[in-house]
Structure 1
């Protein structure tokens, strides 16, 4: 009976895990014993094992410690469900990553005391590729195109017409040491990447820790994020393009240390007509002696707008952005005249950073301009305070409280 049941419920996922000290591989047509829920097509990993290959049927991963081996893709209507307390150690000798394709879904719900953690035993920035979600929400890529090819090495076309598409739920999830250059060296992944992800997706209490590219990057789409922490990422803490337009974002915190570029890098892929995303409660802190990836770079300001990028930000607290390497650091830097003319001046409601409290930083009270136009000023509002986030294991790495800068 068990043999017949497993034949009917054979999986396309190639997995191996230990059951009573016996290692069992699950593949198409495998008739060996495993943990399969009777009457469903769901597989269960119960505390240990290796996740690899393509997941095309539902899988439940219980609390425990696992290996993430290579690029794992979720597709074919499958949902990967991960319980609170699950820890994944990515294989660092491969371009390991977790990729949720347009026809897949993730249900990863941790807690403040038992987060879901993706890390490595090597503990070095850029060890693996991070987590990528695809959705079916609209984008505006270069030249206003409604579809574009991903730059994560997976060569997936993204961009759809369902603003409320749902790629799943991620709560209390931490990604450590993700984001890396792959393939030819020009493609990159971030700690967490969202391609055309829709507003039906839930992103809350997420941490990106010491990745070598951006902490969080949005390529178009309409999804919003709440309680996001970017700590020690080499490139930008928050980045978006392709006219991302999330409207319900709140409580974003970046702490840049040792190596870091912009706190926020904002563009709309040169599309003048775009919907400005909205974010309330932002704290950007740059630690002493933090330098850009490239010496002498201008990428040292808190918030940069370029290529028609827009954003409506309220209650913004910025600290520690000092002139570095002969370049000026600003609370807000407008990178090009086109953005200044078409967005800052012509549509003043589409580029707004107010109220703002800019402290312990250089060039207070004035926006910076990399090109010829400029002159916008602002007044510090001392009543704007730092973001308030729930403390706990979800924001603690190796005994270091990532939220200490908010105290």
Structure 2
């Protein structure tokens, strides 16, 4: 991803300007940035009031009020700055270049929409893979490959992530929707996710979020301790939910995925090969695979609801799964264990639990799948008491007149 730089004017400079909207151009030695920015007299905080372009590196607090904006290129929040976005703000993302919103370790986001006035990031072409989505870096611990406490990000930003503050706070996102993300980066084959969380801490709030028709994962967690509530993954091409590097959020609830058209695993879970990890906990999960949904690659085995590999763990309760059917010779399971090491160290020690579970309109009911000869194997009985996730309806979960929560009815 490329980098442009934006600096906001200081209070002294602001007071020398007219109080109307103005175009600011600066060069702070890191690059050039231009933004049309209404200013507020008597404050040091920049303000976008109803329209304008967001670009470059934000190094001072910025308030974005309700309105329609353009997000142009990679926008990075840093230098202890907070980007505050009001309910009803909509961003049309430039797709002729790699664009994305990146909150670095020393930045924060305060994006609080409502069910009726969400904060929306979309594109005019409405094509999956148009842009890079939202990425947040925190300062919480990780366990990467070989137990490393730091690792280099996979998103093209080349940022090392992994810290020591389990309760670090990267801000708040509520009622935020990301559409058509997952742009290819770097070598042209790697992709960004719709929402990506690198070492994000438990002090961060993630609630009522939607990822819609991205070409990679809906949500991916790279270590960290943050939890998420009331989140929707709809029509994302790869996995609806994905994590690695020993992500360990303990207070997750109400996760809903609807896979349609193209989709791989409902959930792909690993711990980067680390035996000693803390299992994340999620209550109330609904995974629904629409009829005729195919994996990205023909004849791929990636059609199971929940896959565990590389010492991945998870304690899941009240799980409702529907629509996971065999495709050709490939079998779809409620739960698939990919390697014997994960079974031995995690499944058989109680760090992989999926119960109670209802598995409907799907093949291979009553058994877990194994990509090897299991040491015993698991069976389960459908629990009639499990119901679908319940989420608040509204504009936050509606795209072009389509109710994304219809599958929960």
TM-score, normalised to structure 1, is 0.93
Residues 57 and 79 of structure 1 are in contact (CA less than 8 Å); yes or no, is this contact kept in structure 2? yes
Aligned residue for 2:140, secondary structure, equals coil
Q: For 1:9 and 1:404, how far apart are their aligned partners in 2?
A: 51
1:179 & 1:113 partners in 2: Cα distance? 26
Map of 2:321 onto structure 1: 318
Asked whether the equivalents of residues 152 and 159 of structure 2 are also in contact (C-alpha less than 8 Å), the reply is yes
Q: Does 1:41 align with 2:40?
A: no
| 1:67 equivalent in alignment to 2:70 | yes
Superposed CA offset, 1:240-259 (max 9, x none): 00000000000000000000
Match of 1:156 in 2: 159
Residue of structure 1 equivalent to 2:382: 380
1:277 match: 280
Alpha-carbon contact 1:248-1:278 (below 8 Å) kept:
yes
Question: 1:4, CA displacement in angstroms?
Answer: 9.4
SS at match of 1:7: helix
Distance 2:36 2:301 in 1: 59
Within 5 Å, give how 1:163-202 maps onto structure 2. 163-202=166-205
C-alpha distance after superposition, 1:335-358 (max 9, x if no partner): 11110111111x12x100000000
Q: 1:306 aligns with which of 309, 316, 338?
A: 309
Count of residue pairs brought into register by the alignment:
393
Q: Name structure 2 gaps, 5 residues minimum.
A: 1-8
Q: Is this contact kept in 2: 1:100–1:106, CA < 8 A?
A: yes
What secondary structure is seen at the aligned counterpart in 1 of 2:120? Answer: strand
Deviations 1:215-269 (A, max 9, x none): 0000000000000000000000000000000000000000000000000000000
Cα gap change, 1:366 to 1:28, in 2 (>3 Å):
same
The runs of 5 or more residues in structure 1 that have no matched partner are 11-18
2:347 — aligned with what?
A: 344
Superposed CA deviations along residues 360-404 of structure 1, whole A, max 9, x for unmatched, are 000000000011215210010011000000000000000000000
2:5 is matched with: none
Q: Which runs of 4+ in 1 moved over 6 A?
A: none
- Map residues 2-81 of structure 1 onto 2, 5 A cutoff: 5-7=11-13, 24-27=23-26, 35-81=38-84
Structure 1 position 25, deviation (Å): 3.3
Distance 1:328 1:77, change over 3 A: same
Aligned residue number for residue 235 of structure 1: 238
Note if contact 2:37-2:48 (Cα within 8 Å) is conserved in structure 1.
Answer: no
- Distance of 1:137 and 1:313 partners within structure 2: 23
Tell me what 1:101 maps to.
Answer: 104
Does the C-alpha gap of structure 1 residues 82 and 34 become closer, same or farther in structure 2, counting only changes over 3 Å? closer
Name the counterpart of 2:263: 260
* Contact preservation (8 Å) 1:295, 1:325: no
SS at 1:27 equivalent: strand
Matches for 1:217-232 after TM superposition, within 5 Å:
217-232=220-235
RMSD over equivalenced CA pairs, Å: 1.9
Shift in Å at residue 28 of structure 1? 5.4
Displacement after TM superposition at 1:114 (Å) = 0.1
Aligned twin of 2:4: none
Give matches, 1:128-143, under 5 Å.
Answer: 128-143=131-146
Q: Pick from 394, 397, 406 the counterpart of residue 396 of structure 2.
A: 394
Separation of aligned partners in 2, 1:163 and 1:341: 28
Q: CA deviation at 1:181?
A: 1.7
